[in-house]
Structure 1
Amino acid sequence: MKFFIAHLATETNTFAAAPTGWGAFEEVGIFHGDASVREPEGAGAFLHFLRGLIEADGNEVVESLCTLAQPAGRTVRAVYEALRDEILADLRAALPVDAVQLLLHGAMAADGYDDCEGDLAARIRALVGPDVPIGLELDLHCHFTELMQRSADVIVAFKEYPHIDTDERGRELYRLLVATAAGRVKPVTAVFDCKMAGLWHTTREPMQGFVRRMQAAEREPGVLSVSLGHGFPWGDVPQAGAKLWVVSDNDPALARAVADRLGAEFWALRERIGAQPIGIDEALDGTWAGQGPVVLADIADNPGGGAAGDSTFILRRLVERGIGDVALGALWDPGAIHICKSAGVGAQLALRIGGKCGPASGQPVDLRVSVRAIVENHSQRALGTRERLGDCVWVEAANGLHILLASIRTQTYGADAFTGAGITLADKSFVVVKSTQHFHAEFAPLARKVLYVSTPGAMNFDFAAIPYALRSPDYWPRVAAPHGAGI
């Protein structure tokens, strides 16, 4: 059996001013059929895993493009079309194939394309014909669309946020594609539109329990897979929003019944599952029992959601209040890094930090700092892979305020973003991370308390007030009862 595999992903914040261009993909890496070999612990980690899975079964692998970019605005049209067309050209050269398995995001939009994943899947279907199974693995912050559903045989989304189950879902999808290609199953899908916008962490109840109920439903006879696409709230596209879908073995009625049941259960949890952010001063004023630092998530300035990663709202308040023994990062500021690298380790200088990218970044903060370390080509653990931070600098200001500056815009995933640069964490009163939730996997075990802090950043957590133009305004929490009286 011959499998064609590829990985193309970015999450589009349609409200972000900066487009996603070639530089955003090149920063992570663009690999032309060799990512699984050249970057097996980095960008190519999933394709390396998938290749091993397929070849262990004695099957053949044709590996195509692998690239991803940090979330930002819409991808430049020519960039998306070039990446898409490379995958299509590779597939055309590989034909005939027995199955196609892709790791995509599900919330990628480009100039002229509201649904890049659906567009790609439809073009693949046109190439391989109706009988070759196509499988898509999506980030749970995807927009599940009708074009995706029509074009693919099986679509599976991550269940966990943080996304710690990428490989697990890839294995699930691979097994379903093998069974489909062999004629042992015939996948059919039913979708429940939850008509909700929000951000829901699976690290706490009741979302933990809901994930377990989805997994339990997958053990019911005839049910092949259950996914909940949370949607990406900052993606204004026509089919945005949370959707739950069920894949059954040639039983549309079963798929519909299970999707409706679980969709209604998820809807019933809506008032209890949202994040509860607090203000900066409330976080700094609190008395939190336990060992280790209090971890503050700067949720509105998460580069993983399209923000710049250089906002100064929390940093400024720490300075104004004279709070010390703090680690903060990774703050994106290539200019400050250039100055510090020129000055060298041990230098003391006046440094203007952050606040470079517009109103959502706040005003720059001027500090007297010591350059404590310069780390070239730094990286961090990131949910089982390595994520590049570029050249990084650790600077220390008064009162033991330790700031990690990064030259590549990315969210803080791993504790080694700090410790790899020499910044200790256990002795800090606060650790401030530029992330919304993916930090949780590594930082929660170190923390006395994890707090989600609201700032005037680029990501608006008032979901009822996001100024959508393309998606329907008929969603909760903007509308109390978007389903009417029928749910």
Structure 2
Amino acid sequence: MSRRYRIAVGGFLHETNTFVPGRATQGSFQSGGGYPGMCFGNDVLSSLDGVNCGLAGFIEAARTDHELIPLSWAVAVPSGPVTDEAFEYITGKIVDTLKFDCEIDAVYLDLHGAMVTESRDDGDGEILRRVRAAIGEDIPIVASLDLHANVSPLMFQCADGLLSYQTYPHIDMAETGRRCFAFLKEALARGRRPYKLFRQLPFLIPTVAQCTLLEPAKGIYDQLIEFERREGVSSLSFNPGFPAADVKDCRPSVTGYGWDASEVATVTDGLLKLIEANEGAFNFPLLSPDEAVLDAMAHASPGGPVVIADTQDNPGGGSTSDTMGMLRALLRHNVENAAIGLIADPSAAETAHRSGVGATLKIALGGRGGFPGDEPLEGEFLVEALSQGEVKMSGGLYGYGTGQLGKSACLRIGGVQVAVSSVVSQMADQQMFRFVGIEPKERAVVVVKSTIHFRANFDTISTRTIVATAPGGMIADCSRLPWKNLPPDVRTMPMGKKLSERAIWT
């Protein structure tokens, strides 16, 4: 009979874009940004049913045969840095629980891997460092990471296993939690740490080119999975990274674990060489808002909508989800039967609720992020539908959990329906249109504030997908960013110049 282990479990996730204003406060983590809000203790075990996240998957796999000691659940929508107050509060809760309960056998943490705080460039590394200090060197720590993690040497040093998602869109977040449990269970049974290797790459990969449904990422991950099946190899991760964090470890990486040191070295270095050989293929074509709209109009068909990804205003990359560039382009070209969402504008949503369905509002919508080339859109909007903001998700990124978007509305201007919410959340589920009465599969053109995640749910209805670069906080061309802390030998785009070779390097 296998031993019953006591495993401390928790999650603390934030993807930080250091090039945008704003902060992730305690309030940001309390709201959850489409995920369950911040909680501690036993509430952690009951709040994540049906949610697609690493912690939910780990709990599902482990809770029947093992005792789980819940630590935390805290996630906020990507933004500028996490405030020191929020970081110290949540990390303090995790560490205090670990110090109080000294009889645990292992720790599992659901982390992002690209957290930056007001005072620390490596938030995830600091979490792992403090956890290691609290429990000592003998108790294993395993963490799941986002595919976009900027893995640091400190993270690698403090954890016995870092296992990352293998899909983008991230449909395997819960599955990664289950993989973490299997990895940890084997390590506990063997009674020793696995061999491990960590490698970093010298160029940045824009997020729009990281989709695992498309080449070159698809082929690289197919090979990764083949490497992972080798005898003596337990886990292999490729993290393309989050290229909007001005920190020294912002870059892609490869991490390998297993019980045969030679095999771990072979597959880790083999994967590294494969990625290097495909560097040039990570460049991706981008269209202006007008080019994207004209392309969509030319390819519109009765079979389903053309979907335009408003990639630079993706709140999943730290933008505000309220820029007006794509909406202006739709109106400029008189597009009919179109929809766009989510536009995060609590003031507009409140005005719509106060005025009621059928009212015409004269308002200035969105455009409050202060991004160059963007401003609020003044116009007359018809209130077509209202919602209190509860959304039952239908799979893909969010799984089948329930999101809370606050007071929301469908506003019409010209031939465009606009899904407006009070809470910032990435448009990655068709239900995030339907909850305000918009049926996306019946529209000719649908604009989503997302880069890749929408594909897990929208590819089932789209006839064509286009990527557009309207104003926003998630710049698609990494070479345009004003880097200060990135090492000078890192190339800011695939096959591009090193940072030290750019005229704007400071």
* Alignment check: 8 A CA contact 1:298 1:434 kept: yes
The 5 A counterparts of 1:9-408 are: 9-28=13-32, 29-41=37-49, 46-56=54-64, 58-183=65-190, 186-198=193-205, 199=207, 200-251=210-261, 253-286=262-295, 287-288=298-299, 291-360=303-372, 362-379=374-391, 381=393, 382-384=397-399, 385-399=401-415, 401-408=416-423
Measure, in 1, the Cα distance between the counterparts of 2:414 and 2:172.
Answer: 41
CA change 1:361–1:60 in 2 (3 A) is: farther
Q: Which of 447, 457, 467 is the aligned partner of 2:462?
A: 447
Moved more, 181-190 or 17-26: 181-190
**Unaligned stretches of 5+ residues in structure 1:** 483-487
* Alignment check: 8 A CA contact 1:303 1:434 kept: yes
User: What is the aligned partner in structure 2 of residue 485 from structure 1?
Assistant: none
1:179 Cα offset (Å):
1.3
Measure, in 1, the Cα distance between the counterparts of 2:283 and 2:179.
Answer: 28
* Alignment check: 8 A CA contact 1:96 1:128 kept: no
1:480 Cα offset (Å):
4.8
1:427 Cα offset (Å):
2.4
User: What is the aligned partner in structure 2 of residue 468 from structure 1?
Assistant: 483
* Alignment check: 8 A CA contact 2:51 2:398 kept: no
1:40 Cα offset (Å):
2.7
Measure, in 1, the Cα distance between the counterparts of 2:392 and 2:487.
Answer: 39
* Alignment check: 8 A CA contact 1:41 1:386 kept: no
Task: Report the TM-score when normalising by structure 2.
Answer: 0.91
1:383 Cα offset (Å):
3.1
Q: Which of 411, 434, 447 is the aligned partner of 1:432?
A: 447
1:268 Cα offset (Å):
1.2
Measure, in 1, the Cα distance between the counterparts of 2:381 and 2:49.
Answer: 35
Partner SS state of residue 276, structure 1: coil
Number of equivalences: 479
Measure, in 1, the Cα distance between the counterparts of 2:56 and 2:39.
Answer: 13
Per-residue CA deviations over 1:414-472 (Å, capped at 9, x if unaligned) read: 00111122111222110000111111101111101011111232111222232211121
1:360 Cα offset (Å):
4.3
Letter in 1 for 2:344: W
Partner SS state of residue 426, structure 1: helix
Letter in 2 for 1:296: I
Moved more, 473-482 or 101-110: 473-482
1:481 Cα offset (Å):
8.1
Letter in 1 for 2:228: E
* Alignment check: 8 A CA contact 1:351 1:367 kept: yes
State the identity as a percent: 28
Partner SS state of residue 9, structure 2: strand
* Alignment check: 8 A CA contact 2:142 2:162 kept: yes
Letter in 2 for 1:288: H
1:201 Cα offset (Å):
0.8
Measure, in 1, the Cα distance between the counterparts of 2:441 and 2:53.
Answer: 30
CA change 1:374–1:475 in 2 (3 A) is: same
After superposition, the CA RMSD in angstroms is 1.9
CA change 1:17–1:477 in 2 (3 A) is: closer
1:55 Cα offset (Å):
2.2
